[in-house]
Amino acid sequence: MTNEKFDQVVLQYQRLVYTICFQMVRDHFEAQNLTQDTFLSAYTHIGSCREEDLKPWLARIAANKARDYLKSAYARRVQLEDEDSPERPDTPEDSPDNRYIAAEGEQIIRDKIYSLKEPYLQVSVQFFLQEKSVAEIARALGRPPKTVQTQIYRARLMLREMLKEAKT
């Protein structure tokens, strides 16, 4: 098999291989490493597989790589350390940088909500920030539920427009 043909195989099956690895190890970064290991192993042993059997062959290699990783002393040690230190982020989305960015975004939205004028201010604070239901807001403000729904809808449109303007 030529290098160009193998590149096409990688492009065609990389998502399948990654998914198999991720479903078994439940770690984004380790699944990426195992995906690379799978294709490296496949490349070195490509002569032992017929082209029509590539998909199940790659899936079997990926599953075996993931099983080997899970059986390894390193994986068991890392899993134990994770259980002992819950402050360690489990996913890339929970990294300190991403948490800071999310908090900053929440503050921007909060500021935009508080900049709204009545009748949208109280409705927005209760709905978006305090997470109250339409019925609760209607009772608290003495307004019909349909009016509150309309005000939430309009407030959402205003907030969306304000956020678009802030980006530019």
What one-character-per-residue DSSP string does 16-33 give? HHHHHHHHHH--HHHHHH
**Residue 1 — pLDDT band, cuts 50, 70, 90?**
low
Do residues 39 and 65 lie in contact, with contact meaning Cβ atoms separated by under 8 Å? no
Taking each helix axis as running N to C, give the angle between helix 54-71 and helix 73-84, from 0 to 180 degrees, rounded to the nearest 10.
60
For residues 24 and 57, give the distance between their C-alpha atoms in angstroms, rounded to a whole number: 17
Tell me the HSE value of 2 on the side-chain side, using a 13 A CA sphere: 3
Q: What's the pLDDT score for residue 96?
A: 67
DSSP code for 125: I
For the stretch 148-164, pLDDT in tens is 999 999 998 888 888 88
